[in-house]
Structure 1
Amino acid sequence: MKKLTTIFLGLALLLTTTLVNAKPVSTNENLTAIHAINTYVDAITRGKVQGLNDVLDQSVKFSMLRGKTMLSFDKKQMIDFLKQGRNVELACTTNTEVVERNADVAVVKVDMKFENFTRSNYVTIANTPSGWKITNVHSVFNK
């Protein structure tokens, strides 16, 4: 019985030491530039909106040039729109290209090539205090 008590005390001490020394989980560790772009691409092309809210800055602006008309949306409007198409995969091929990047900001071109046209999204991401966040998306349509 004494041996069993010693084993339990040893396990309790080991568990306590492990929990005390455990690294706190930071929500910002995954907010890299690559993660932000991949999350955005998954949302707009595959309808996978999980995590999108985390990579969009609170003041993000979406604009879309359709012909001669400029449409603008805020974060809530865009998330609501994308949730309507949840888990719907678009019939397009997607290509990403870094246009410009430094330690604080990056512009990434995300081309979505459909059968009859291409939608080019110019995505600006910034290295904010809470990780890399999408701050602006401008979309244009080309034949």
Structure 2
Amino acid sequence: MHFQIPEHYMAYLALSISIIGLLILKFASDSIAPGISKIDLIDTNSIGRNVRICGNISNIHRFDKGSLLITVNDGSGEIDVYVPYSIAKIIDNKIFSSREIDVIGEVNIYNGRLEIVVRNLNSIRLKNDNTGLEPK
């Protein structure tokens, strides 16, 4: 006895499996963090890539509209980390005082300088703390 699946069912099955696979990739890629990069090794070849840095905060600037620019130094160099308002509005400056942080973000160039742009709150963590930054 031979069972044959109609062709239109096969198309639906293939589409369903493809969508499920894409969703799995999306969620898996969000949970995979890049390895830690030394700041002095981040250059124009890194633009558009996600990087992870750990270092001390040497400066914080809060813009009038609420976003933050944090300067991070890891001993090999310094780089600015831009935190958009949507994330910055729940971060308190006191948390950053003389703290080591772990940042994941995309390398961009702004006004001729390299910077890392943070995309979500979980991409900024206090060193040795897996909970992310505490909200205000």
Calculate the TM-score normalised by the size of structure 1: 0.30
Higher relative contact order (CA 8 A, sep 6+): 1
Q: Which has the higher strand share?
A: 1
Which is greater in Rg? 1
Calculate the TM-score normalised by the size of structure 2: 0.31
